[in-house]
Structure 1
Amino acid sequence: MPIPTEPIGSVPRSPELLAALSAHDEGRLDAAALADAVSRAVAETIEAMEAAGSPVVTDGEQGKPSFATYPIAGLDHLNPDGVAIPFADGHQRTLPSLNAGPFRYRRNADSYLKAALPHAKVPVKQAVIAPSALSLLYPAGGIDGYPREQFLADLADQAEADIRGCLDAGAHSVQLDFTEGRLSLKLDPSGGVLDDFIALNNQVLDRFSDAERARIGVHTCPGGDQDSTHSLDVDYAQLLPQLFRLNAGAFYLQLASESDPDRVLGVAADHLPATARVFVGVTDPIDPAVETPEQVRDRVLAAARHLPVDRLGTCDDCGFSPFADDVSTSRDTAFAKIRARVEGTALAAEQLGV
C-alpha cells in the first residue's frame, strides 16, 4: 500500500481466552491448558486481522496481562501500592512498586512475537513498553542497597534487550508504548518528568544503529481503558515538540479523537524530524461507532495537507484493549475499525495519486 497502515497493538481478548484466564486464576485450569488457549486466540486474531486486509498485523496482545506489565508479571520483589493512574471516568489503574533489586524483566516481548510469526502470512509488528513507563516502578522513598541510578542502568539494559530481541526475531517494526508521556504533563506541568522520560528513552534508543532505529517507532496517546482516557485534556502542543526529540524512525500519534486535529497536525509539521514517518490515528477505539472508509479517507487527506505524503502513515489511535480485563469494545467492532482504516487509507492514497 503506498501509504503504510499499521495497528497499534491490542485487540479485545476472545471470549474463550477470557474464560480460560478466569479459570486459571481460580485454579481450575493449569498453565499448559492456558497456553493452548492463548495460542488459539493469537491464531484467530491474526487470521481476523488479515481478513480485514491489514498489511501488517500484531498478535493483539492476547497473551499479555497488559501492555505495560508483561515484563514484570509474576516478578518477585513487588509491592501492589505503586503509582496510581486516574482516568477521567473515575476508575484508576495502579502500577506495582519495586522493593528490592536488581531489576530484571521476567518475560521479554520477543516471546510473544515468536509465538505469532508462524500464524502470519504478512509482516508482524511487536509492541513493547517504553522504559520510561517502567521507571515509575521505583519508589519515591528509594530502596536500601539499590540506588535509583543503578535501577535506571539496569532498566536501560533490560529495555534494550527487549527491543533488540524483537528486531533480531524478525519484527517488521517495534513500537514503544509511551502513553505516560502526555500523562506526565498532567502530573508535572513544568515538564521536568517528561524531560527525564525523554532522556531515559533516548539513552536506550541511542544504542541502536540508524538502520535499526528506522524499524523502531514510538506511540503516544492519552490512554484508552474502559472507554476512558487519563490525559486527553493535556494540550498536544506541550508534548509534540518534546516527543519528536526521541531518536525513533516513526511516531504513532492518536489523532482521531482530538477535538482540533488540524491544530495538532500543524504542531507536528513544525517539529517533525527530518527523516521520521508519522502514522496518524484515523480510528478511535473508544468510540463505539465504526468509522466509514470515507471518514478515514478524509482524515488522511487532512493530514496530507500538513505532512509530506511520503512520510505519512495511518494507525488506530490506541490499542483496543490494553489491559486484558478491558471488554468495553467488542472484537467485531475492533476488526471492523481495522478494515475501515485499511480501506480508507487506500482511498486516500488513490486520491493523492500515490
Structure 2
Amino acid sequence: MSLPTEPIGSIPRPSALLAGIADHAAGRIDKDVLDGLYDDALRETIATLESVGSPVVTDGEQTKPSFVTYPLAGLDNLAPDGAVIPFADGHTRQLPRLAAGPFRYAARSGDYLRAARRHATAPVKQAVIAPSALSLLYPQDGIPGYSREEFLDDLVDEAEADIRGALDGGAHSVQLDFTEGRLSLKLDPSGGVLRSFVELNNRVLDRFGDGERSRIGVHTCPGGDQDSTHSLDVDYTALLPELFAMNAGNFYVQLASEPDPDRALATIAANLRPGQRVFVGVTDPIDPVVETPDQVRDRVLRAAGHIPPDRLGTCDDCGFAPFGDDTSTSRETAFAKVRARVEGTALAAEALGV
C-alpha cells in the first residue's frame, strides 16, 4: 500500500485480563498467573491486528496501566495527589505528584517492544509518553533540594533513553503521545504553556539525527477516555501551528471526530514543514458506529485535497482504551474500525493512483 496506515496504540483489554488484574489486586491469583494472562492478551491482540490486515501493529498497550503512567510503575517517590484532568462528561483522571528527586523511569518502552516483537510478524510501532506530559508531575510549589531545572534535565535524559531504546530495539516507528497539547490551551489560552511543552519536547527530539527523526512521530488528539474528551472544544487551529514546530518526521492528527476538518486541514497544509508526513485520523474510537471503508476513503480524499498524497498517511483518531480500565469500547468494535481504516486507505490509494 502506497499510503501508509498505522494504529495509534491502545486496544481494549480482554475481559479475562481485566478480571485477572482485579483478582491479583485482591490476592486471589499470583503474579505468574497474571503474567500469563498479559501474554495471552498481547499475543491475541497482535494476531488479530495482523488478521484484519494492519501493515503495522502495536502491542495494544495490553500490559500498560495507562499510556501516560507506564514509566512510573514501581517508583517510591510519588504521591497520589497530582494534576487532575477533567473530561467533558464530568469524570476525571489524576496524575501522581513527584514528591522527591531524582526523577527516573522505572519501566522502558523497549521492554514492551521486545515482548510484542516475539509475537509479531508485521513491523511493530511503539508508543511512548511525551516528556511534556510527564513534566506535569513536578509540583508547582517545588521540591526541596531538587529544582524544576534539575527535574527537567533528568526528564529529558530519561525521555531520550526511552525513545532511543525503542528505535535501537527495532521499532518501525516511535510515537510520542501529546494529548496534553490541546488541553494546555484550555488551561492557558495565551499559548505560553503550549510553547513551553513544544520547547521541552524539542530538547529531546533535537538529540536525534534526521534519519532517526524520520521514524519518530507526535500524536495529538483532544483526549479519549470513557467515551469522552478533555479538549475537543478548544480551537484546533490554535494548536496546529505549534504542533508542527516540533522536530519530528511524522504527525498523527485526530480528524475523524473534528467538527470542521477542512479548516484543520488547511491549517496543517500551511504549517507542514519539509520532511514531515501527516497521518490523518479516519476512524473515531469514541463513536460506537463502525466506519465503512467508503467513509474512510472519502476522508482520505478530502485530506488529499489539502496535503500531497506522498506526504499523507492514515491512523485512528486516538487509542481505543488509553487507560487500562476503560471498557467503553469493545475489542470487537476496535478491530472492526481498524479493518475499515486499512481497507478504506487502500481504496483511497487506488482512487489517487498512488
- Tell me the equivalent position of 1:212: 212
Displacement, 1:274? Answer: 1.0
Instruction: Measure, in 1, the Cα distance between the counterparts of 2:117 and 2:207.
Output: 26
Q: How does 1:1-354 map to 2 (within 5 A)?
A: 1-354=1-354
CA distance in 2, matches of 1:315, 1:269: 18
Runs (4+) of structure 1 exceeding 4 A deviation are: none
Secondary structure in 1 matching 2:269: helix
**In structure 2, distance between residues paired with 1:161 and 1:30:** 32
Q: Is there any run of 5+ residues in structure 1 with no aligned partner, and where?
A: none
Q: Which amino acid aligns with 1:107?
A: A
Equivalent-residue separation in structure 2 for 1:76 and 1:191 (angstroms): 34
Shift of 1:110: 0.8
SS in 1 for 2:59: coil
Superposed CA offset, 1:231-280 (max 9, x none): 00111110010000000000000000001101100000000011100000
Instruction: Tell me, in whole angstroms, the C-alpha distance in 2 between the residues paired with 1:197 and 1:33.
Output: 40
Q: CA deviation at 1:295?
A: 0.2
CA shift, 1:74, in A, is 2.2
Secondary structure of the corresponding residue to residue 105 of structure 1: coil
- Aligned with 1:252: secondary structure? strand
1:32, distance to aligned residue in structure 2 (A): 1.9
Q: Deviations over 1:56-83 (max 9, x none)?
A: 0001000000000000022111111110
What's the CA shift for 1:34?
1.3
Looking at structure 2, the residues matched to 27 and 104 of structure 1 have their Cα atoms a distance apart, in angstroms, of 29
1:109 positional shift: 0.7
Distance (whole Å) between structure 1 residues aligned to residue 240 and residue 259 of structure 2: 16
Deviation track 1:39-68 (CA, whole Å, cap 9, x = no partner) reads 110000000001110000001000000000
Deviations 1:296-330 (A, max 9, x none): 00000000000010010000000000000000000
Give the aligned residue type for 2:78: L
Per the normalisation by structure 2, the TM-score is: 0.99
- Matched residues in 1 for 2:283 and 2:149: separation? 40
Q: Distance in 1 between matches of 2:33 and 2:143?
A: 38
Where 1:346 maps in the other structure, the secondary structure is helix
Match of 1:267, as an amino acid? T
How many angstroms apart in 1 are the aligned matches of 2:104 and 2:65? Answer: 18
Identity rate of aligned residues, in percent?
A: 72
For each residue in 1:173-192, what CA deviation from the matched residue of structure 2 results, as whole angstroms up to 9, or x when unmatched?
00000000000000000111
Residue 251 of structure 1 aligns with an amino acid whose one-letter code is: F
RMSD: 0.5
Amino acid at match of 1:132: S
Per the normalisation by structure 1, the TM-score is 0.99
Q: Which amino acid aligns with 1:247?
A: N
| Helix, strand or coil at the partner of 1:225 | coil
